[in-house]
């Protein structure tokens, strides 16, 4: 791991700079930009949760938006159909997202690599099909709208984009802190050991299945948090939250930003949200540009933007 | 002295006049925010809608109510959450005075609460989800297009009375648009005494219709198909492939043979009878002029999507003119949108009902080949059809929305 | 009975198309360990190129040849110029193909517009076979026969020629294959190009029925993945069996339990992965 320290000195100042920006800039920005920043931090949580799988455990999931979407549906259904209170809805969303991860984990966590990719993609599509077809509960294609505003529910004195943003930022910081603790803990180090060489870890006496399983459940739980925030942010839920496009865009965020860094995926999320929204005002060809940006990034920084200037990991 | 005085007076007058003129011209442009899918699988439909709008704006030189029009176009990617983000951008950053656009019902529903809370008038030229102007309507959204069940109510009656069809199998896309179209058809067709033998629902990702076609009994009077875009194209081809064409009459919702897909079909589409509020072959001076200009400009036959925002644009501009360009008064603008009756629309006379949905003609069209091109020849017209058909609105609204 | 025969024949037709698409995917994976997200793009490009050529020359045969050659060349260049640099990094390779999928998707929209189209069925294949109450289109039978021929051809190359032996050796273990003097890089380029060409051929074969349309690239991709997973990655035989299983389940499932049309396909895949993670004929 010695070569990873190359070019590392600019990381800390950058992180401080980003953090300061996220913290102080919103009052000086227009409501639209605050909205985009809110999207960045919420999708940042989601991208970090996928990073636990792709980056730290070496499990490429192409169905991760499923938990995000299911938790969002949990909130949507509880708070509109059942008129549940705020905390009940949040707890419900978290429970259903995490519960589903615990269930799916049993199926997926004994396969690796490409097989993991395929089976998560399939499960993701099953969830999408469910959201699309289980009309009495999910509203089908039209989704569920009318989710109450979050600011009033948590008892904030003011409503609007800026208070919501700070709630999202607080949740983001909390999740990032927890995930950082997780990856630095012995458990997290074991995960990275599995990523590097699973048979060795197994022969050292680690239960690699259990570790993979728990990592999957944790990732699902954090994705659910992001899904809950997303439901409140948009005020509605629809099947596009958990389709294949959403999962692959998420995959792009993590790999573009730099897997196994936590910060990288947030930068990836920021880059894609900003790029997409700014570019689409000028050209309908933004998808082409995004694809080219992506290819160029992999050519020049195969380990992602945040690992730029570092040598490739073998 | 007198000359000097007169000169000064003239100068003052001239200045004042300049100021007044400058003031009318100095009124900032009217900003119109517009969004449709411009990337991905629905891009072409979005492009058609935009093209109709651009063509109309060119006709009026981008001016309305004595002010210049500034059009800001965004791509909603056919994803509701993206649509909402783009609406926020248009309203909060670009500070548009009025919004128009959206293609999918899901986007339409996702935008509605936000549009309502921001109190920005918005025109929906295409979104056809029934409830947007029925049980879940918004004061700020004006629909200039149609509701999914609207032409099908008329068509159910027509199929029984005029086409003499007694039993039908329906095959439709399995989502709200499909349910509402089939629901509308079924309601009036069954009320007349007709029988729906079977309802086949196909997923949106369908590409091979063989498993469904094999289930259609050959002794049924007609197959009612509600598809659009490439699914319509594939269905037509396969309906013929499996020998159903010529044995079982094919009828359907208007999108199944709409001009956005009709030019790519072959003889297999001939004879299909469908109902919609527009046909590019509609034989009126207004439509002939529209279709001709559109064809010259874009080298394509206008689809109902193209017509939707030509009419939508005309509607919007009529409302802006009616209030003398004072679009800052949003309440006045939305009221004007509900009251104007723009003349010379390609699809014929239209006015809004009290619920914000157009009352308009429904055309029964049959696919024919004229001068080598397939077209939807209008064979019958139901004038001034309401979204509630012949039912009293209050009674209609007490019943649930059409579902599978 | 009529219904059963028709559905079985149509299941075979689905299987034929899926086999053409999945065989390239599985070969590329076997030799290069690459998950090619852009494989659906090759399928899409095939039918678009064929359409352009066929409408200008009014010859479907010319369209087919040009499409297969052009898309094969695109695949070859993509492997040679981009993927080869990341030979031992499956994740980077997959990401690269994802980027290409985005580029191909939008480039196709830019070049051809978003209108759907179908290819013209050759005159001598129009119409349907009718035996009693059984009606089945000739063209679909033709596609089944062609796919069978392609399958036999691939099998002969794979089992009976030197190139095939090299491919099989590389699928088994790329490092040992390289050590025995096989030029794995060149072989990979060839296999990738053939896979791309097969996908394009599949697109053209489906063209008269399914046509071309914006978004088709991602529509058959999940199905092709299911086929490869069930059959086992890297196995041609697996791709064949997988294609038949998926084709049959898809056709009968949609007809018998339409409520579950989004799930019938994935259930067998999850089952296979849970019981035999490497697929029916795959090697770990």
Question: How many Cα atoms are found within 13 Å in the side-chain-facing hemisphere of B270?
Answer: 9
CB C245 within 8 A of CB C46: no
- The tokens for A206 are 């680690």
Give mean pLDDT, residues C22-28: 91
Q: In this complex, which of B84, B86, B105 lies closest to A234 when CB atoms are compared?
A: B84
pLDDT (tens digit per residue) in B183-238 = 999 999 999 999 999 999 998 888 899 999 988 998 999 999 999 999 999 999 99
Residue B76 in this model has a pLDDT that exceeds 60:
yes
- The tokens for A137 are 């509960």
Residues in CB range of B31: below 8 A, 6 or more apart: B70, B72, B94, B95, B96, B97, B98
Give mean pLDDT, residues B379-392: 95
C222 touches chain B (CB under 8 A): no
Residues in CB range of C4: below 8 A, 6 or more apart: none
Between residues 183 and 242 of chain A, which touch chain C (CB distance below 8 Å)? none
H or E stretch at B15: helix B2-26
- The reply to whether residue A126 touches residue C262, judged by beta carbons under 8 angstroms, is yes
pLDDT (tens digit per residue) in B113-142 = 999 999 999 999 999 999 999 988 899 999
Residue B45 in this model has a pLDDT that exceeds 60:
yes
pLDDT at B6: 60
Q: Can you tell me the distance from the alpha carbon of C280 to that of C243, in angstroms, rounded to the nearest whole number?
A: 12
Residue B4 in this model has a pLDDT that exceeds 60:
no
> Chain C: residue nearest A60 by CA?
C91
Rank A289-298, B101-110, B156-165 by mean pLDDT and report only the highest: B156-165
pLDDT at B24: 53
Give the ipTM: 0.91
A141 touches chain B (CB under 8 A): yes
pLDDT at A1: 39
pLDDT (tens digit per residue) in A70-104 = 999 999 999 999 988 889 999 999 999 999 999 99
Q: Can you tell me the distance from the alpha carbon of C284 to that of C282, in angstroms, rounded to the nearest whole number?
A: 7
Mark B222-244 as b/e (b = at least 16 C-beta within 10 Å).
bbbbbbbbbbbbbbbbbbbbbbb
- The reply to whether residue B176 touches residue A142, judged by beta carbons under 8 angstroms, is yes
pLDDT at C284: 54
Closest CA to C166 of C147, C189, C150: C189
- The reply to whether residue A39 touches residue B85, judged by beta carbons under 8 angstroms, is yes
**Percent of chain C topping pLDDT 70:** 99
pLDDT at C182: 87
pLDDT at A5: 44
Question: Which DSSP letter does residue C161 get?
Answer: S
- The reply to whether residue A288 touches residue C110, judged by beta carbons under 8 angstroms, is yes
Q: Can you tell me the distance from the alpha carbon of C212 to that of C220, in angstroms, rounded to the nearest whole number?
A: 12
Tell me the nearest-neighbour CA distance from C74 into chain A, angstroms. 16
Residue B316 in this model has a pLDDT that exceeds 90:
yes
Phi, psi of B402 (to 5 degrees): -60, 130
pLDDT at A286: 84
Q: Can you tell me the distance from the alpha carbon of C116 to that of A107, in angstroms, rounded to the nearest whole number?
A: 39
- The reply to whether residue A118 touches residue C269, judged by beta carbons under 8 angstroms, is yes
CB B91 within 8 A of CB A35: no
Q: Pseudo-torsion of CA A66, A69, A73, A75, nearest 10°? A: 120
Alpha helices in A83-203 (DSSP H): 86-108, 113-133, 135-138, 150-153, 161-184, 186-196, 198-203
Give the count of beta carbons closer than 10 Å to the beta carbon of residue B124: 30
Neighbours of chain C (3+ CB pairs under 8 A): A, B
Residues in chain A with pLDDT values less than 50? 1-6, 312-314
Phi, psi of A160 (to 5 degrees): 120, 175
Q: In this complex, which of A143, A146, A277 lies closest to B80 when CB atoms are compared?
A: A143
Which DSSP string corresponds to C21-79? HHHHHHHHHHHH----TTHHHHHHHHHHHHHHHHHHH--HHHHHHHHHHHHHHHHHHHH
Residue that has been written with the tokens 């615990």 in this structure: A102
Neighbours of chain A (3+ CB pairs under 8 A): B, C
Between residues 240 and 259 of chain A, which touch chain C (CB distance below 8 Å)? 244-245, 248, 251-252, 255, 259
pLDDT bracket for residue B15 (50, 70, 90): low
CB B366 within 8 A of CB B376: yes
A133 touches chain B (CB under 8 A): yes
- The tokens for A285 are 């060809």
């Amino acid at each position: 791991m010695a070569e990873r320290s190359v070019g590392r000195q600019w990381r800390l100042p950058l992180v401080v700079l980003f953090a300061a920006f996220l913290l102080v800039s919103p009052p000086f920005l227009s409501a639209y930009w605050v909205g985009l920043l809110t999207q960045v931090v919420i999708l940042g949580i989601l991208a970090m949760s996928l990073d636990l799988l792709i980056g730290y455990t070496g499990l490429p999931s192409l169905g991760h938006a499923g938990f995000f979407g299911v938790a969002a549906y949990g909130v949507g259904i509880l708070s509109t159909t059942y008129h549940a209170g705020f905390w009940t809805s949040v707890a419900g969303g978290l429970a259903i997202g995490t519960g589903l991860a615990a269930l799916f984990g049993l199926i997926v966590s004994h396969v690796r690599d490409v097989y993991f990719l395929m089976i998560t993609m399939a499960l993701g599509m099953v969830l999408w099909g469910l959201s699309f077809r289980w009309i009495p509960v999910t509203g089908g294609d039209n989704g569920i709208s009318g989710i109450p505003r979050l600011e009033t529910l948590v008892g904030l004195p003011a409503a609007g984009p800026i208070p919501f943003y700070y709630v999202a930022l607080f949740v983001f910081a909390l999740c990032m802190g927890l995930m950082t603790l997780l990856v630095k803990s012995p458990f997290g180090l074991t995960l990275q050991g599995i990523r590097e060489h699973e048979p060795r870890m197994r022969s050292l006496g680690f239960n690699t299945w259990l570790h993979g399983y728990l990592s999957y459940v944790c990732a699902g739980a954090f994705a659910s948090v992001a899904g809950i925030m997303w439901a409140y942010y948009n005020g509605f839920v629809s099947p596009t939250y958990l389709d294949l496009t959403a999962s692959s865009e998420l995959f792009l965020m993590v790999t573009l930003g730099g897997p196994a860094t936590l910060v990288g995926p947030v930068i990836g999320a920021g880059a894609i949200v900003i790029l997409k929204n700014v570019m689409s005002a000028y050209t309908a060809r933004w998808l082409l540009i995004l694809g080219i940006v992506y290819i160029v990034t992999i050519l020049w920084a195969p380990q992602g933007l945040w690992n730029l200037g570092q040598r490739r990991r073998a | 002295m007198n000359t000097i005085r007169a000169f000064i007076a003239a100068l003052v007058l001239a200045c004042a006049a300049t100021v007044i003129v400058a003031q009318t011209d100095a009124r900032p442009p009217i900003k119109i925010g517009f969004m449709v899918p411009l990337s991905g699988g629905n891009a072409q439909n979005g492009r058609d809608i935009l093209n109709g709008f651009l063509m109309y704006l060119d006709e009026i030189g981008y001016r309305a109510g004595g002010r210049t029009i500034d059009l800001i176009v965004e791509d909603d990617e056919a994803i509701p959450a993206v649509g909402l983000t783009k609406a926020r951008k248009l309203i909060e950053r670009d500070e548009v005075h009025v919004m128009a656009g959206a293609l999918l019902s899901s986007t339409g529903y996702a935008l509605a609460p936000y549009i309502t809370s921001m109190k920005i008038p918005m025109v929906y030229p295409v979104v056809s989800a029934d409830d947007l102007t029925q049980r879940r309507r918004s004061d700020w959204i004006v629909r200039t297009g149609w509701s999914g069940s609207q032409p099908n109510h008329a068509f159910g009656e027509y199929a029984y009375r005029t086409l003499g069809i007694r039993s039908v199998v329906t095959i439709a896309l399995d989502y709200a648009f499909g349910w509402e179209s089939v629901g509308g058809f079924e309601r009036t067709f069954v009320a007349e005494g007709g029988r729906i033998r079977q309802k086949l629902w196909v997923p949106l990702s369908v590409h091979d219709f063989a498993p469904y076609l094999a289930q259609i009994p050959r002794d049924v009077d007609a197959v009612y198909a509600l598809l659009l875009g490439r699914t319509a194209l594939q269905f037509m081809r396969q309906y013929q492939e499996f020998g159903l064409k010529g044995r079982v009459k094919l009828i359907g919702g208007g999108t199944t043979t709409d001009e956005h897909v009709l030019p790519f079909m072959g003889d297999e589409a001939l004879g299909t009878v469908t109902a919609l509020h527009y046909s590019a072959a509609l034989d009126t001076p207004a439509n002939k002029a529209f279709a001709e200009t559109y064809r010259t400009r874009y080298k394509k036959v206008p689809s109902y999507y193209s017509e939707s925002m030509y009419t939508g644009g005309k509607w919007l501009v009529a409302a802006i003119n009616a209030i003398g360009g004072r679009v800052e008064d949003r309440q006045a603008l939305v009221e004007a949108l509900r009251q104007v009756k723009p003349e010379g629309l390609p699809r014929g006379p239209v006015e809004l009902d009290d619920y914000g949905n157009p009352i308009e003609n429904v055309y029964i069209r049959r696919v024919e080949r004229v001068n080598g091109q397939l077209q939807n020849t209008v064979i019958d017209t139901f004038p001034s059809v309401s979204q509630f058909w012949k039912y009293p609105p209050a009674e209609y609204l007490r019943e649930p929305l059409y579902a599978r | 009975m009529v219904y059963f025969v028709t559905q079985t024949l149509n299941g075979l037709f689905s299987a034929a198309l899926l086999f053409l698409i999945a065989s390239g995917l599985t070969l590329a994976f076997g030799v290069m360990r690459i998950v090619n997200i852009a494989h659906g793009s090759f399928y899409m490009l095939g039918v678009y190129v064929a359409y352009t050529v066929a409408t200008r020359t009014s010859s479907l045969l010319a369209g087919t040849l040009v499409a297969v050659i052009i898309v094969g060349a695109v695949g070859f260049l993509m492997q040679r110029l981009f993927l080869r640099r990341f030979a031992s990094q499956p994740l980077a390779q997959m990401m690269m193909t994802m980027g290409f999928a985005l580029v191909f998707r939008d480039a196709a929209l830019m070049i051809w517009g978003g209108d759907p189209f179908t290819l013209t069925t050759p005159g001598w294949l129009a119409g349907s076979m009718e035996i009693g109450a059984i009606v089945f289109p000739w063209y679909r039978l033709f596609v089944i026969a062609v796919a069978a021929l392609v399958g036999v051809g691939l099998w002969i190359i794979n089992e009976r020629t030197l190139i095939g032996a090299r491919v099989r050796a590389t699928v088994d273990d790329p490092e040992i294959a390289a050590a025995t003097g096989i030029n794995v890089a060149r072989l990979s380029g060839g296999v990738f190009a053939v896979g791309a060409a097969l996908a394009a051929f599949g697109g053209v074969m489906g063209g008269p029925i399914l046509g071309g349309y914006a978004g088709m690239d991602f529509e058959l991709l999940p199905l092709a993945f299911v086929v490869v997973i069930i059959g086992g990655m890297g196995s041609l035989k697996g791709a064949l069996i997988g294609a038949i299983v998926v084709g049959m389940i898809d056709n009968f499932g949609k007809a018998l339990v339409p409520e579950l049309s989004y799930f019938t396909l994935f259930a067998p895949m999850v089952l296979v992965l849970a019981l035999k993670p490497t697929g029916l004929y795959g090697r770990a």
